[in-house]
Amino acid sequence: MNVKDKIVIVTGAGSGIGAATAKHFAQHGAKVVVSDLKEEKARSVVDEILKSGGEATINVANVAKFEDVEKLITETVKKYGQLDVIVNNAGIGPRQMAKTAEYTLEDWDNVIAVNQTGVFYCMKLALQQMMKQGYGNIVNIASLAGLKASLNNLSYSASKFAVVGMTKSAALEYATKNIRVNAVCPGYTESALLEKLLSVRPDMDQMLKSVIPMKRYGLAEEIAEAVVWLASDNTKFITGQTITLDGGTSL
């Protein structure tokens, strides 16, 4: 995949899909800005990339804060002179899964702030820079929960449906500007969010696997491969798409 020397920001890159994506970009020769709210986790990913001979820097940011996203984009461009790709991966789930009538205001506000508004902030500022330079590529991490109903998970589902819509709208707006916008929609994937769910409901492990035709969870590395492919020069005619990586669950 041709991403050599591309300047890439990955948000939420301290663990899970974000960390795997940052490492995968670096393995293919990209220069990666590893952004996460937790500095220690981001530092660990950067160190691993550097030890493997790749190039990476750290930028601590909370995507729910507009000023943090401004700093992230500004510092990246100041250091490298450009921004080729941004992967909007940072995301959270609710503290407590519940039906809509019992859903807490805190969980609604927090999840929407990170998963939806945070993606908007990153897209808005990245697109401004990409318009200046005349090209760019955005890959948003949505979810199977953004394509189909997700029980007891209103804010997460709403935010991921929003990411799918934002992806398609922006792709249409900037299709003539040499800027591509796509999304990936992972199904049940080994990640911190899944671990959190199973720690509360261990009995759900077998139930979840039973609805996945491949009878296993996805791997973060498998999602990362699709993200890097979409961000590469191998997919120049692809924009506005949502690629579902769910082991057949949506079937």
The residue behind tokens 């000023």 is 67
Please write the tens of the pLDDT for every residue from 84-102: 999 999 999 999 989 999 9
What CA–CA distance (Å, rounded) separates 167 from 69?
18
| C-alpha angle 59-92-95 in degrees, rounded to nearest 5 | 135
Q: How far apart are CA 114 and CA 239, in angstroms?
A: 24
Instruction: Evaluate if residue 147 carries a pLDDT over 90.
Output: yes
DSSP state of 161: H
How much is the pLDDT for 199?
Answer: 76
* pLDDT exceeds 90 at position 133: yes
Q: Which of 156, 174, 188, 217 is catalytic?
A: 156
State which amino acid sits at residue 99.
K
Query: What is the model's pLDDT at position 188?
Result: 87
Residue 16 has pLDDT above 80, yes or no: yes
Residue 207's pLDDT is 80
16: left (phi over 0), alpha (psi -120 to 50) or beta: left
What domains are there in the chain, each with its CATH number? 7-189+220-245 (3.40.50.720)
Note the pTM of the prediction, 2 decimals. 0.95
- Catalytic residue flag (residue 156): yes
Q: What is the pLDDT of residues 220-250, one digit of tens each?
A: 999 999 999 999 999 999 999 999 999 999 9
